Amino acid sequence: MGVDHPTSATTTTAAEDPLRHVVVREAAGERDAFYLAHLWSRWFGTEYKHGHRYASGKLPYPLFPVAGWSTETIEMENLAVHGVVAGHDPPDRDGAVQIGGGFASIMSHEHTVDEPPDGGFDAAALAGERNAWLWFGVVDESWRGLGLGRRLFERRLQWARDQGADMAFAFGWEHEGRTSRPLFEAFGFIPVERFERLYEGDRNVCPECGALPSNDRTCTCAGVVWATDL
């Protein structure tokens, strides 16, 4: 019977571990809030629902609590919000560098029913009383493939459970040769429906399909609505 032995090509020591100085933590403060806004802007469009632009130095309303800004005069659709940030902080560097982040919120039954596109499912029957939405999770390209996306996902999902959410929802992209399906399935999510052009008409920035405000295109990427009970 053969025995597998690690070789020098596959052995990873603590000194070689690329994640040894990486921490995934809750986003807090203006620096984290604006980093998440940058990700939101780059991947989901320069204009936000409430007319705020990242370039103007303003934040989209859902990120106000992350920055520590007051929401007393704002009618918020979210019952609670949560951001997570991955930071690389080696001892020879003065301060951590943000290398990934994600955002989640808790929404009521009423607002959750309005979020998914019209499809062949009953959104009212699917939604719970308190619903978690995992809005985005992005890892810098040079740090992908190391499990950071999974850690960002796991942190947000645990926060949703701690918030007493009944259900969790998310949108997952489907690109040729690349999909978020394994990640969602690993955490027990079920595909509700696939849409060939999930964001067409309301998302004018997409690094994947080349949509930009300057070329008057909108995202044509396929996507899946995912859900799981908590």
Of the given ranges (19-23, 46-50, 174-178), which has the lowest mean pLDDT? 46-50
pLDDT at position 212 is 76
Provide the percentage of residues in the chain whose pLDDT is more than 90: 57
Q: Where are the beta strands (DSSP E) in 14-122?
A: 22-26, 78-88, 97-108
Q: At the fourth CATH level, which superfamily is domain 22-229?
A: Gcn5-related N-acetyltransferase (GNAT) (3.40.630.30)
Mean pLDDT of 141-161: 96
For the chain, percent helix, then strand, then coil, each to nearest 5? Answer: 25, 30, 45
Average pLDDT, the chain: 85
> Which runs of consecutive H residues, i.e. helices, occur in the chain?
30-44, 64-67, 109-114, 123-126, 148-162, 181-186
pLDDT exceeds cutoff 70 at 14: no
Nearest-CA neighbor of 104 among 134, 149, 137, 128? 134
- Total residues found in the chain within this entry: 230
Rounded to two decimals, the pTM is: 0.84
Report which of residues 128 and 92 the model is more confident about.
128
End-to-end alpha-carbon separation of the chain, Å? Answer: 44
Phi, psi for residue 170 in degrees, rounded to 5: -165, 160
Mean pLDDT of 84-101: 92
Between the alpha carbon of residue 161 and those of residues 79, 109, 158, 168, 229, the distances in Å are 14, 16, 5, 9, 10
**Torsion sign over Cα 174, 176, 178, 181:** positive
Mean pLDDT of 18-31: 94
Nearest-CA neighbor of 220 among 171, 173, 169? 173
**Amino acid at position 174, single letter:** E
Q: Which pLDDT band, with edges at 50, 70 and 90, does 12 fall under?
A: very low
Look up tokens 């999510």; give the residue. 189
Of the given ranges (4-13, 91-100, 172-181, 183-192), which has the lowest mean pLDDT? 4-13
pLDDT at position 158 is 98
Look up tokens 């080696």; give the residue. 90
Of the given ranges (70-74, 119-123, 139-143), which has the lowest mean pLDDT? 70-74
pLDDT exceeds cutoff 90 at 137: yes
User: Greatest CA span in the chain, whole angstroms?
Assistant: 71
**Amino acid at position 213, single letter:** P
